[in-house]
Amino acid sequence: MSTTVTADIEVDVPVRVAYDQWTQFESFPHFMSGVESVTQVDDTTTHWVVSIAGVKREFDADVSDQVPDDHVAWRSTAAEVQHRGRVDFRPGSDGRTRIDLTIEWEPEGFIEKAGAALQLDDAQVKRDLHRFKEFIEDRNAPTGAWRGEVHGGQETTPGTGGTAGTTTGLGGGTAAPGSVNPPTSEGVAGSDPDLRA
């Protein structure tokens, strides 16, 4: 039985800043608990290494739908790790941004099923969103940007206004364009363009 978590937060930066930072997947370990690393494979594919309750998992996730300054949706590519999600960005008052996040996954094993039953995953997602808020508000600028557009899993507009591949201020590395990996009991997952927060 799948588990769905929804969470939202308002951050004190403009939509473009919040959105651009979310496209920098390799920065996720800085604010997402359980995420050990994210590697950008190409513009729409990322490789995740996560560790939850001592259980290490690796999987790939593809961006299924992305519109700059509006939303990013993703889904896992392997049958054995069932994840999908969507994050939406909405302008708030005084130049702030509301972030709405929905994550759906299939818990595996006793620890993950128990965590889902006790709603521990909900608490983790909310904590990680709060850490994202602190991260981006402290910087007040994204570490990079990828402005490509994706529909049906296919990139329709090349990324502009930044380089999918460079992060700044985080010790270098590549930036993961186009997707989000919200914190879950297993890390990031995939998404459906119709999955809304």
What is the rounded (10 degree) CA torsion for 76, 16, 160, 73? 20
144, 20 Cβ separation under 8 angstroms: yes
Q: 11-35 pLDDT, tens per residue?
A: 999 999 999 999 998 999 999 887 8
* Residue 55 β-bridge partners: 52
State residue 160's pLDDT score: 57
State residue 29's pLDDT score: 93
Q: 147-189 pLDDT, tens per residue?
A: 999 999 899 877 654 444 433 333 333 333 433 333 333 333 3
- Segment 71-91 mean pLDDT: 87
> Could you tell me the two tokens for 180?
């989000």
State residue 59's pLDDT score: 86
What domains does the chain contain, in order, with CATH numbers?
3-157 (3.30.530.20)
Q: Is 28 exposed, middle or buried (0-12, 13-18, 19+ CB in 10 A)?
A: buried
Q: At what angle do helices 120-139 and 15-22 cross, to 10 degrees?
A: 120
Q: pLDDT band for position 9 (50/70/90)?
A: very high
